[in-house]
Structure 1
Amino acid sequence: MRKLSKKSRITAAVAGVALVAVGGGAAYAYWTTTGSGNGSAANSSGGGTVTLHATFDAGLAPGNAVSVAYTADNATTTGTVVGALSATVTTSDAGCLPAWFDVTAVTSNTLVAANTTGTSVGSGTLTFNDSGTVNQDACKSATVTVNVSSQ
């Protein structure tokens, strides 16, 4: 191996210092760099539609009342809250008047988790009012349905 001359050693030393200075300057610039930018993404539509159910015992007769259980099924991938419930009655026989029935719906503002079924969201009472003066026999073979919705 050949020995370096004094001039070559000085040149190599200056080149080394210059390389360190340039490298140090790049590192300094990297660490003190500023910038700006932005990004965006669409949110999930969330709050999907749930299916509400009302269940109560059979055998309702004039003057009697039964408890109603309200449940919800959520087939979406996002949980949602079921708020105020409202319920109405329909019947399968024109002679069995829905006006003879009263139904309540107590709201619980319940979170219905994603991909669940049968989550309790409220309760109420279904009352078959006794008209006292009108024959209500048409309701004996009628199907009484409680329809429930949420806002």
Structure 2
Amino acid sequence: MRKLSKKSRVTAAVAGVALVAVGGGAAYAYWTTTGSGNGTATNSAGGGTVTLHATFDGGLAPGNQVNVAYTADNATTSSTVVGALSANVTTNVATCLPAWFEVTATTTNTNVAAGALGTSVGSGVLKFNDSTTENQDACKSAIVTVNVTSL
């Protein structure tokens, strides 16, 4: 094996540097590019509504009140927000007048997750007002229903 002269070593070094530079340039050209494109998908239609529930203890008598808990079930595939609630009373006896009752519904915007059951969305009070002028015996054993909607 013969020894390389100084000139040969310099030439080999320059050739090596040039080879690296050319190779690096090729790598740079390989990774540099331009282009464009897009993607599309259809969002959920949202559809469906939540089911609202009002829960309270029975046994109301004139002059008494009970607390009401409002909950929501969301059978849809996306979360939704339940805002302000509105409630009213009906009874199963025509002579047990809904006007004798007062119900409140207090809530703030509440997120109800997709598929959730029984999410608390508010509270209120159901009052059975005592009438001093009318006989309220028609309400004995009547079924009182609190109907609730989200606005």
Alignment TM-score, normalising by the size of structure 2: 0.76
Q: Cα offset for 1:101?
A: 0.7
- Aligned-CA RMSD value: 2.3
Match of 2:126, SS state, is strand
CA contact (8 A) 1:65 1:127 kept: yes
> Which amino acid counterpart does residue 103 of structure 1 have in structure 2?
V
Partner of 1:72: 72
1:61 aligns with 2:37: no
CA contact (8 A) 1:90 1:147 kept: yes
Mapped to 1, the partners of 2:134 and 2:45 lie a distance apart of: 51
Q: Cα offset for 1:83?
A: 0.9
Q: Cα offset for 1:71?
A: 0.8
1:89 aligns with 2:55: no
- The C-alpha deviation readout for 1:89-110, integer Å capped at 9, x for no partner, is 1110110111111100001322
1:99 aligns with 2:99: yes
Mapped to 1, the partners of 2:117 and 2:36 lie a distance apart of: 46
Mapped to 2, the partners of 1:118 and 1:125 lie a distance apart of: 19
Mapped to 1, the partners of 2:48 and 2:148 lie a distance apart of: 17
Partner of 2:19: none
Q: Structure 2 matches for 1:103-118, cutoff 5 A?
A: 103-118=103-118
Partner of 1:3: none
1:129 aligns with 2:126: no
CA contact (8 A) 1:49 1:76 kept: yes
Mapped to 2, the partners of 1:93 and 1:150 lie a distance apart of: 26
Q: Cα offset for 1:123?
A: 0.3
Mapped to 2, the partners of 1:120 and 1:105 lie a distance apart of: 12
Match of 2:58, SS state, is coil
Mapped to 2, the partners of 1:69 and 1:47 lie a distance apart of: 26
Q: Which runs of 5+ in 1 are unaligned?
A: 1-19
